[in-house]
Amino acid sequence: MNHGRIARLSLAASLGLVGVALAQPLDLSRYELVDLTHPFNAQTLFWPTSPSSFELKQLAHGPTAGGYFYSANTFCTPEHGGTHLDAPIHFSESGLTADKVPLERLVAPAAVIDVSDSAAKNADYRLTVADVLGFERRRGRIAPGTMVLLRTGWEKRWPDRKAYFGDDTPGDASHLHFPSFGVEAVRLLVEERGIAAIGVDVPSIDYGPSKDFMVHRIVSARNVPGFENLMGLDRLPAKGAVVVALPMKIEGGSGGPLRAIALVPRSRPR
């Protein structure tokens, strides 16, 4: 099965471009643009064992001798924190690095599975095969090349570290509690559905108490990237949106800061 070709056709269908001449411009007035990215700032959350966080230093800000305004900064950040990409090499020695992830896995039609009700009752909830099959009964089979996003409702806890991670002990990641993907559900999505990528509105594509990070290992083995700490998933339909998730192109990187947006079709043109 040519998942790349299917992904391109699925993306074209999502954007209403099937049968449309390539020279015709995309009419963005037909879409609502939704920001799926938390800003990077002093409040940005990183994994509890991260040795550092996001730092912005001002180099210049103000009038110059030439009479014009000029501003410039320098920044420093770990790869994994805030809204970011997990490249496959993060958990696979032979996996793709951040700069090698194909664009077809970063720009794709999205399926948004909402487990926020279940997560509200159980902070350690994991997406199940039954959840995926239930979604497909209601919305249709998840096509190859789809980006599957999991909405848990956790973004409302950002940037409260204890509420978001389930624990705020400095340097300790052994007592975390938050929902995410389940192993068997991800096997189904990756091995049988041929999805392009997965993403979630919590700190990790593995749930908080995970010690073996099997979801990371399963997707990385198939060169499927993951997107963590997303926001705005409540503004996306279950199907029909197209997500553009472009990370910083760090050569050899295991991940990197991500700017993700969604194009959501309007019910009628403006």
Q: Select which of 38, 80, 90, 216 is catalytic.
A: 90
The pLDDT of residue 26: 83
Sorted by where each begins, the domain ranges of the chain are 3-13+28-41+78-265
CATH match of 3-13+28-41+78-265 with 3.30.70.1140: no
Q: List the chain residues with pLDDT less than 50.
A: 18, 268-270
- For residue 70, give both structure tokens: 């000029």
The strand pairing partners of 76, in sequence order, are 55
Active-site annotation holds for 90: yes
- Using alpha carbons, select from 237, 238, 218 the residue that is nearest to residue 226: 218
Q: Is 179 exposed, middle or buried (0-12, 13-18, 19+ CB in 10 A)?
A: buried
Distance, CA of 132 to CA of 26 (rounded, Å): 32
DSSP line for 27-59: -GGGEEEEE-BPPPSTT--B-TT-S---EEEEE
Q: List the beta strands (DSSP E) in the chain.
A: 31-35, 55-63, 69-76, 84-86, 107-114, 147-151, 197-200, 226-228, 239-247, 255-265
Which pTM was predicted? 0.91
- Using alpha carbons, select from 199, 200, 125, 203 the residue that is nearest to residue 159: 203
pLDDT tens figures, 99-142 = 999 999 999 999 999 999 999 999 999 999 999 999 999 999 99
- Rounded-to-5 percentages of helix, strand, coil across the chain: 25, 25, 45
